[in-house]
Amino acid sequence: MAIWFRHLLTDGLALHQPALKESPFVLVMPVKNRVIITASCLLAERQGAFAGMAVADARAAVPELLAIDDTPGKATKLLRLLGLWCIRYTPTVAVDLPDGLILDISGCTHLWGGERGYLKEIVLKLRNAGFDARAAIGDTPGAAWAVSRFSLSRPIIEPGEHIRALSGLPPAALRLDAEVLEKLKKLGFRTIGSFLQMPASVLRRRFGKDLLIRLDQAMGRVDEVLEPLVPPIAYVERLPCLEPIKTAPGIGIAIEKLLSALCLRLQAEGKGLRKAVLKCIRVDGRTVQAGITTNRGSHSVSHLSKLFELQIAKIEPALGIELFILEAPKVEDMDTLQEQLWAVDKGLADTALAELLDRVSGKVGAAAIQRFLPAEHYWPERSVKVAVSLTEEPAAAWPVQMRPIRLLAAPEAIEVMALVPDNPPKTFIYKGKRHVIAKADGPERIGREWWHDGGEHRDYYVVEDSDGQRYWVFRSGHYDGIDVQWYLHGYFA
């Protein structure tokens, strides 16, 4: 069986998304100082936007055209993911670059009521997910490939009907090179049937051996070797129990055994655990779970055991647990650390720090611990982002200007009195409390980000009130004779 994706969309972008349903779209790539359409949807082609056309010309014909970057390599990655998804229908799935999949469905179709039901199930699932897919079933991959792309008749080729199915198709259905196709065209061979009965020696002499190989593969005279996708091996360990486990010490021993086996495998592959889920199958048939997460990859049995010790109290064994399953859905590559006699200032690379954070997050929750990195934005509330791990490197340097210890998520309006409009405030009222300013420093002007939203620039001041508390306040925009708005944005230590 062969599945053909008429236009494979980058990054899993699907047609069912509302933004793409309302207007035609194309995938584009810059070529020789011009942006060229590499693929387009049916709606765009009906209105005159085709692959190979410059986007400027296409937009002249289709003003509402939506152009999306065609990132190299992402379509291939998506095709592989679709192939792994198809393993639920057959264990043998091969990627057929650049836009197809080949499935060996021998012995699988009866589970869906026959070949017709099998074909309908897969194609409808793919189309409902937003992919423009066509499929065909034949005794050979070559025949299924040809019919799925070039035939408008029935997509299921009956056994022994390959010659009839292929005879009326163009030579391109044999997956031939452009040079061979051009020779066939010049000699007037418009269909496969026009040269199907010619002697093999004649075809080899005029068109080379590739034509004969592709023809024999489509007819089933030569086997076509497929390279099936191998799904990633799951990191799972199982521990059945001779007697049901009911006590916390027994659960702890089971967890340690599972971790020992799992961490041995992770260490051999140079990987570390980031997330683990323990599933406990009880005698009554119910399943209880407990999970842990780490801030960086770890294959330390002692450390991971301590994290699970905090979760044992949440496991209810009831009449007893007869099967333990430990899964690691998230792992990451680990760099081999050189052992040193004296470790000097390892900072975030110190495994002790990561293990401490893991233990703390096990008690207070992972969401309560966050690490921030600088982000390249002008507005202070947008100038930081949450790091995904301890090893993530900042893309920009931290600002050298003075910033408050506590920054409000959004500035809050205050009432201000100033002797001169452009000077710092003398007093301000925040949440009903009046603050008298004793010292002030500034202003520091920060321009607005016009590409995100509207608004004025900001003039920030560091002010200290009579009680010694320091605040970060700003005036929005210039003073133009009308009441101008002031805001409180943060607190200093």
Q: Spell out the residues 6+ positions from residue 204 whose beta carbon is closer than 8 angstroms to its own.
A: 211, 212
Residue 413 contacts residue 347 (beta carbons within 8 Å):
no
Q: Phi-psi category of 304—alpha, beta or left, where left has phi over 0 and alpha has psi -120 to 50?
A: alpha
- Averaged over 380-390, what is the pLDDT? 81
CA 340 to chain centroid, in Å, comes to 38
Q: Provide, rounded to the nearest whole percent, the portion of the chain with pLDDT above 70.
A: 91
- Averaged over 328-343, what is the pLDDT? 65
- Averaged over 263-269, what is the pLDDT? 89
Q: Could you give the CA distance from residue 316 to residue 319 in angstroms, rounded to a whole number? A: 9
Band (pLDDT 50/70/90 cuts) for residue 286 is very high
Q: Burial level of 202, CB count in 10 A (0-12/13-18/19+)? A: exposed
Query: Which residues lie across from 35 on neighbouring strands?
Result: 30
- Averaged over 299-319, what is the pLDDT? 90
Report the pLDDT value the prediction gives residue 476, as an integer from 0 to 100: 87
Q: What is the 3-state secondary structure (H, E, C) of 95-108?
A: EECCCEEEEECCCC
For residue 451, give both structure tokens: 């590409």
pTM of the full structure: 0.51
Is residue 398 pLDDT above 60, yes or no?
yes
Cα-Cα-Cα-Cα torsion 343, 348, 349, 354, nearest 10 degrees, comes to: 100
Is residue 14 pLDDT above 90, yes or no?
no
Q: Could you give the CA distance from residue 98 to residue 4 in angstroms, rounded to a whole number? A: 10
Report the pLDDT value the prediction gives residue 346, as an integer from 0 to 100: 55
Is residue 344 pLDDT above 60, yes or no?
no
User: Tell me: the pLDDT tens digits for 218-234?
Assistant: 888 888 888 888 877 68
Is residue 343 pLDDT above 50, yes or no?
no
Q: Burial level of 401, CB count in 10 A (0-12/13-18/19+)? A: exposed
Report the pLDDT value the prediction gives residue 336, as an integer from 0 to 100: 55
Report the pLDDT value the prediction gives residue 103, as an integer from 0 to 100: 92
Query: What is the set of domains in the chain, with CATH numbers?
Result: 236-335 (3.30.1490.100), 406-491 (no CATH)
Band (pLDDT 50/70/90 cuts) for residue 78 is confident
Band (pLDDT 50/70/90 cuts) for residue 480 is low
| Sheet containing strand 92-96, strands side by side | 92-96, 100-104, 2-5, 133-136
Band (pLDDT 50/70/90 cuts) for residue 348 is low
> Which ranges of 96-231 does DSSP label H, i.e. alpha helix?
115-128, 141-150, 162-167, 178-186, 200-207, 209-219
Report the pLDDT value the prediction gives residue 31, as an integer from 0 to 100: 75
Q: Could you give the CA distance from residue 75 to residue 357 in angstroms, rounded to a whole number? A: 38
Report the pLDDT value the prediction gives residue 335, as an integer from 0 to 100: 65
